[in-house]
Structures are given as C-alpha cells and as structure tokens.
Amino acid sequence: MLSTRVGKVLSAAGLPIDGEVVKGVYMGKGTWGGNGEVMESVCPSTGEVLAKVATATAAETSEAVKRAREAYKTFRKVTGPKRGEIIRQVRNAIAEHKSALGALVSLEMGKIISEGEGEIQEYIDICDYAIGLSRSAAGRVLKSERPGHQILEVANPLGVVGIITAFNFPVAVCGWNFALCLAVGNATVWKPSPTTPLCAIAVTRIVADVLEKNGIDGAVASLVCGGLEAGEALVNDKAVDLVSFTGSERVGQIIGTKVQSRFGKILLELGGNNCAIVAPSANLDLALRTLVFAAAGTAGQRCTTTRRLILHRSIADKFLPRLVKAYENLQTRVGDPLKSHTLIGPLHTRGAKDTFFKALEQVKREGGEILVGGESYAPSSGDLKQGHYVLPAIVKPASPESPIFQEETFAPMLSVAIYDDLDQAIGWNNGVRQGLSSTLFTTDMREMGKWISEEGSDCGLVNVNVATSGAEIGAAFGGNKSTGWGRESGGDAWKQYVRWSSCTINFTDDAPLAQGVNFE
C-alpha cells in the first residue's frame, strides 16, 4: 500500500496508484507496451516501491527505432516554423504540469522540490530556445573562386537520435536533446535510466498527446524504458544516426566505441571531478554561499557538483572554518525532499550510499582527515527510515596527488587542498582525467583573464565567481577530455544534430576548375 504522500504525487502526474503495471514502451500512434522484464521504481526517500514498469525487449527497441525512422521520413518535411509551433505546444503542456512533474522528479530521483521544479523549468526553457531555433537554424553562403558559382553549407535533419539519460536529471537532459532534435526535423528514441522510468513515462505521455493532436506520428518521440538489453539494442542499431549518452565514463567508453565502430555519431556527457579555486582577492561571502550549494546541493549528485576545493593559503584559515560551520548548519536541513524546509535529500540508491562511505574510508586510509559530516542520517519521521540519507562531508586528503583527490566520487564529499600560486592551482584543476566544470573566485582581473585563457582551465565550463553547477540553457553545455567532448543545450550544440552538406552551384554555361587547373 502506497503512502498518502506518494499517492498524491503519482496521481497528480497521471500515474496509477493501485499496483497496475505501468507500460514503459511507446512507439507512436497511441501504442504503449512492454514485453520485457518488469522493473521496480523505488523511492530513495522512503524505500517504497512507487510502481512496477513493463520494459522493452531488444526486439521492441528495434521496432521502436524502425517506427521512429518511418515517422522521421514524414516529419523531416514539416516546415521549420511548424515544428516550432509544435515545440511551443509541448512547452505549454509541460508548463501546465510543472508542479506535478517537479514533485515526481523529487519523489523518484530524490532531489529537493525546488530543484525538481527547476528541472522542469529547464525543459521549458530549452523549448523556448528551440522555438526560435526552428526559424533560425541556418547554413552559410560562401564566395566561390570560380566565376558564376556559389557555395552553400546546408544543414538537413540527421535522422533518428537515441537519447540515453541518467538518473540525476531524469527530465531536463532529454529535453536538451529532444527540443533541438524536433527543431531541426529529427525523430528520437529515449531510453531513460532504469531507476527513473516514471519521470520519462509522464513526460512522454504529455509530448505524445501534443504530437498526435497535430497529426504528427508520436513515434517521433519514442520511449523504451529498460536496462542493458534495451540499451544495447539502441546503441547497436545502424538506423540510429546519433547516440547521446549521459552517464559514467566506463559505460560512455563502451557506447562510444560501439557507435563509432558502425560509423554512427556520438555525443557523450560523462564524469566531472569539478574544481573551485578561491583566490586571495575573492569575495569570501559570495564564495561561501555559492560553494555550499555547488558542493552539497542535490546531495552531491550533479555532473557539475564541486568535488574539489583549492584554497589560497592566505585565506584558508579564515574561510575553511566558515565552510565547516555552514555544513554543520546543513545537517538540520536533511530530510524529505518534498518538504520546502529540506535542502539535502537522499542519495539515489543504496549503492550510492555505500560508495560515499567507501570513499571516506579511503580518505582516512590515505592519511587524510574528515573535517565535518560523513555519517549516515536517520530522519525522525518513520516514513523516511528506509531512505538513503547521509550528512555531506568535507575532507582534507593527504595531498592533491592522493587517489581520492584525483578520482570523482559521485556523492556529497568535498575534498580540500591548499595552494600558494595560481599556476599550481590551475595545474591541479587540469590534472585529472575529466574536464567538465570549474570556477575561480577572484576580483583580480589578471587572474580572471588567465583562468579563461589558453593558460587556464581546460574544462568545458570555465566560470568566474559562479558555481560549477547550475548552468543555464543559453550556452552549450559539455566537457572535455574523458568527460566526452559532447555539447548539448544552447549555443552551437544544435549543429551536432544535423547532416551538413557543402553544395557548389554553377549557374553559368562555363566549367572552370578550382585552383586554376586546366584540363583542355
């Protein structure tokens, strides 16, 4: 029997509360199914089974791709402005359900309610961006060296895009991909994380309704919930032109190799051992407020969470005790993510909790120390006793060369190091495999200029006096090195979802050759 708390959220999102198995496969034209393994969606706050979901077999995944390909052949001929109008309707439909969907994200993923609603707002925002893009996505006209010739660079739809998303942003990351794909004329097949299928089902139902009301085959936005079987079928299918994957480096490397082996396109958003540097001239009040959210928010489960903090020696003794105190104050704000008072919700799974404690043990084993937090937390409410709650930790590893400092721990653990020279701090920032997000707190313009230059951070996101997390949709999002080199969301990210052609046109009766070649 579901608790009243859970029942209200599921009902508001249009999901059953009577134990009915939810169908997790959508192939357009009102077709919902799922003949694969029945998986459970488990609430990280309480340990309750929210619902059982029928997932996709390999054959169903292949069929979903096939139907998406057929739908694409028609959808690609829909004009850009018409596609933009459909995106506008999707945007409005999602906005109408913002509160319900935000609560569902909070319930199924575990992030606090304001972040859950913020994630839905991010989906809305990228739709706003894509509406304009549908009219403005353009190629170029280039001058030819040959008289009477013009050169065009033309962007056409790519085809079918497979979107594989992670648990920590169960809605927004699909939105980044889906909205841009729709704007340029592609079809998509979404495979969400096996642990957050309900968010995907609820969103897909809304999107499918909009598409079908506009006479568009809903297979343009197909859905295959499932695990390894569905994922492998999607990745290996030659009819999937691009695979966008968000997740671990290990899995990303496997997927990237498989897709590239069949000459498909790949977009990877992988790990991030993100770093914040606090310089002597920094506004320490600003740095403190920013870092508490960046390091402890979402219980440390954002790709862009600050995992390493590098403090200048001259301010370390002043700043670090204040940060420790702020973490101590956070301990009274751990609990039910659906409550507005809560700032720290649960970790997503029991495995994530185990990873957190193993990392803390490694800190001590390597000769480091735990400055604050690092304990399990038992909420006073009986409903929450089976949740995966911990107290966010600040640790001081034995040295910046320690393995624990070099490796990403996907949990609320912030590692601290002390630097003497900015070049030293930049070297530590750049000295890890990943290159996702970084920030420098300073009021010194010379340091600021160096930080964003060729001598500075090698990350995809290079911030100044801003958190490593919480990126807006207007700029392209993504990282370098083993983070995967992918770019999603705004900026020029849309250019990855199209097929580019260079077209030379001769509008004369002459046939001159380039480079002055004479073949007469």
Mean pLDDT of the chain: 97
Q: Which residues are catalytic?
A: 269, 303
How many degrees, rounded to 5, is the angle at CA 513 between CA 508 and CA 519?
115
* pLDDT for the residue numbered 117: 98
Position 509 in a domain: no
Q: Would the pLDDT of 381 be above 90?
A: no
Position 516 in a domain: no
Same domain, 246 and 293: no
Same domain, 165 and 239: yes
- Residue 80 in 3-state DSSP? helix
pLDDT band at 380 (very low <50, low <70, confident <90, very high): confident
- The stretch 359-382 carries a mean pLDDT of 95
Same domain, 57 and 181: yes
Same domain, 287 and 262: no
pLDDT band at 505 (very low <50, low <70, confident <90, very high): very high
**Centroid of chain to Cα 251:** 15
- The stretch 145-168 carries a mean pLDDT of 98
Would you report the helix, strand and coil content of the chain in percent, each value rounded to 5?
Answer: 40, 20, 35
Same domain, 319 and 240: no
* pLDDT for the residue numbered 446: 98
Position 76 in a domain: yes
Look at the block and give the residue holding tokens 């799974």: 349
Position 506 in a domain: no
Same domain, 195 and 321: no
- Residue 167 in 3-state DSSP? coil
Position 520 in a domain: no
- Return all residues near 464 (Cβ < 8 A) that are at least 6 apart: 439, 440, 441, 442, 448, 451, 452
Q: Would the pLDDT of 208 be above 80?
A: yes
Cα radius of gyration rounded to whole Å, the chain: 24
Q: Could you report the per-residue pLDDT of 429-482, keeping only the tens digit for each? A: 999 999 999 999 999 999 999 999 999 999 999 999 999 999 899 999 999 999
Domain that holds residue 328: 274-472
* pLDDT for the residue numbered 382: 84
171 touches 120 (CB < 8 A): yes
CA gap 389, 370 in Å, rounded: 18
**Centroid of chain to Cα 305:** 12
- Return all residues near 218 (Cβ < 8 A) that are at least 6 apart: 26, 27, 28, 29, 30, 71, 207, 208, 211, 212
- Residue 258 in 3-state DSSP? helix
Domain of 240, CATH number, reads 3.40.605.10
* pLDDT for the residue numbered 1: 73
Q: Could you report the per-residue pLDDT of 15-56, keeping only the tens digit for each? A: 999 999 999 999 999 999 999 999 999 999 999 999 999 999
Tokens of 232: 């492998």
How many C-beta atoms lie closer than 10 Å to residue 421's C-beta?
Answer: 10
* pLDDT for the residue numbered 325: 98
- The stretch 245-265 carries a mean pLDDT of 98
Position 517 in a domain: no
Same domain, 356 and 464: yes
- Report CA torsion sign: 348, 349, 350, 353: negative
Q: Would the pLDDT of 99 be above 80?
A: yes
| pLDDT-above-90 percentage for the chain | 98
Same domain, 44 and 136: yes
Q: Which residue has the higher pLDDT, 346 or 520?
A: 346
Same domain, 436 and 493: no
158 touches 265 (CB < 8 A): yes
* pLDDT for the residue numbered 149: 97
Same domain, 252 and 380: no
Q: Would the pLDDT of 65 be above 80?
A: yes
Same domain, 233 and 279: no
Domain of 372, CATH number, reads 3.40.309.10
Position 329 in a domain: yes
Q: Would the pLDDT of 118 be above 80?
A: yes
* pLDDT for the residue numbered 410: 97
- The stretch 361-386 carries a mean pLDDT of 94
What's the total number of domains in the chain?
Answer: 2
Position 512 in a domain: no
Using alpha carbons, select from 219, 215, 245, 216 the residue that is nearest to residue 232. 245
Same domain, 336 and 261: no
